[in-house]
Amino acid sequence: MLAEPLLRVLNEISYNTPTPIQEKTIPVLLQKRDVLGCAQTGTGKTAAYSLPLLHLLNEKHVPNKKPAVRALILTPTRELAIQVSDSIALYTRYLPLQHLALYGGVPKFNQIRKLRQGVDVLIATPGRLLDMMQEKHVSLNQVEFFVLDEADHMLDLGFIHDVRRVISKLPSKRQTILLSATMPANVKQLAAGLLNNPEKIEIAKVEPKEELIEQALYYVDKPNKRHLLLHILKTEAIDTAIVFSRTKHGADKIAKFINNSGIKAEAIHGNKSQNSRQSTLENFINKTTRILVATDIAARGIDIKGVSHVINFDLPESAETYVHRIGRTGRAGVKGIAISFCEDEERSYLRDIQKLIAKTIPIVKNHPYDVPYKYGNETTEKKEVASFTPFRNGGSRRKRTFTQASF
């Protein structure tokens, strides 16, 4: 049973029923056992580990004592660190616990000041954490709980050496939680040396609900992709859309083209400053910007509600990435649209995608940049459409509950 202040917050925000990862993880962590969790993004992992962690911290809280870092949550990206910090801020509304998000791309002054005042829960990215440790602003000597979030993404970004350096500074006696969307060999190897007799919790992969996401495929020659994108943005009923580019340079070019055509768009990728990325996200969330052009790494871990469309300007090389992308729409019971462009060089990617999702994506014909002579060979069944009518104001919004995946 969670502490009353935590239950009060959950009641206020109508989190009534735990998600599968929360239902399985929370009791284990309250028993002070290590956990190796495998669940995809958007299943409620943050609440799964943060609620029991805060409960246990509160049990041993000493009033009037300057906080020391007792819980460390390591995340691969600044965006995820901020999202986790926002969740911790919500859950500690009635608890006497201090927290801080520590990440690069912003001045250190305010972070150092907060650290000097005392922090119970530190959410950090590896680079900025190691900098602060080297400058003696952070000590991990009293860490009781260590969470390694999105471990696969952490290793994909090349942070393995930084992670090992952080781990080497932690007390050997601690409770450890490792969470990952996938479990490749390098993550298993890391977990083996990090966890002590862990409870292994795996949540089956949940594919986007077909009835909530209408998929559509446009064949187009590469030079006409941006013109087709503009045609769709100007003719379809698009509230907000995430446009996926395979590269950072491509994202910038797409955003510039859209802006020059009179539609507000912003790009988000790893080369942008932290302030720029945060401003871009805020503009998209409040709909000052309708179109967000993103790379996969920049978009991973970002949970934005109410996205009406996902547009794959470039098909991803990984079929799993396609599923992850289109899952950004069709959420919370509201229907969404997933549009994909396919040029000659991407036909093999399309075959892999349709094999993974076990269906043929309907082809949109007779658009201004159509290339009908290129139809065929990628599909596993003969199923095409002559026109495409997206959902318009379809679906019903549900009251946000604990079953929702957003932390």
Question: Are both 24 and 99 inside the same structural domain?
Answer: yes
* Structure confidence by residue, pLDDT tens digits, 186-238: 899 999 999 999 999 998 765 555 568 999 999 999 999 999 999 999 988 89
pLDDT of residue 114: 96
Query: Dihedral sign, CA of 189, 199, 153, 49?
Result: negative
The CATH number of the domain where 365 resides is what? 3.40.50.300
DSSP strand E in 231-272: where?
A: 241-244, 265-268
pLDDT digits (tens, 9 = 90+) for 268-300: 987 777 678 778 888 998 889 999 999 886 666
Q: Which domain holds residue 248?
A: 213-374
Q: How far is CA 367 from the centre of its chain?
A: 33
- At residue 395, the pLDDT reads 39
In a domain, 396, yes or no: no
Residue 321: both structure tokens together: 């990435």
Same domain, 104 and 223: no
pLDDT of 169 strictly over 90: yes
C-alpha 229/C-alpha 245 separation (Å) is 12
- What pLDDT sits at residue 224? 95
pLDDT digits (tens, 9 = 90+) for 104-154: 988 999 999 999 999 999 999 999 999 999 999 999 999 999 999 999 888
CB 296 within 8 A of CB 327: no
On whether both 193 and 234 belong to a single domain, the answer is no
Dihedral of alpha carbons 400, 402, 406, 407, sign: positive
- From CA 219, how far away is CA 390, in angstroms rounded? 18
Residue with tokens 């650290």: 115
Predicted confidence at residue 302, as pLDDT, reads 63
The answer to whether residues 227 and 157 belong to one domain is: no
Instruction: Tell me which of 54 and 83 has the higher pLDDT.
Output: 54
pLDDT digits (tens, 9 = 90+) for 345-402: 999 999 999 988 888 999 999 899 998 767 665 544 433 433 444 433 333 333 333 3
pLDDT for res 178: 97
Whether the per-residue pLDDT at 342 is higher than 90: the answer is yes
Of 14 and 214, more confident: 214
- Cα–chain center distance at 215: 21
HEC readout, 101-155: EECCCCCCHHHHHHHHHCCCEEEECHHHHHHHHHCCCCCCCCCCEEEECCHHHHH
The reply to whether 402 falls in a domain is no
Whether 33 contacts 177, CB under 8 Å: no
SS3 state at 244 = strand
Query: Same structural domain for residues 194 and 298?
Result: no
Helices (H), 60-92: 78-91
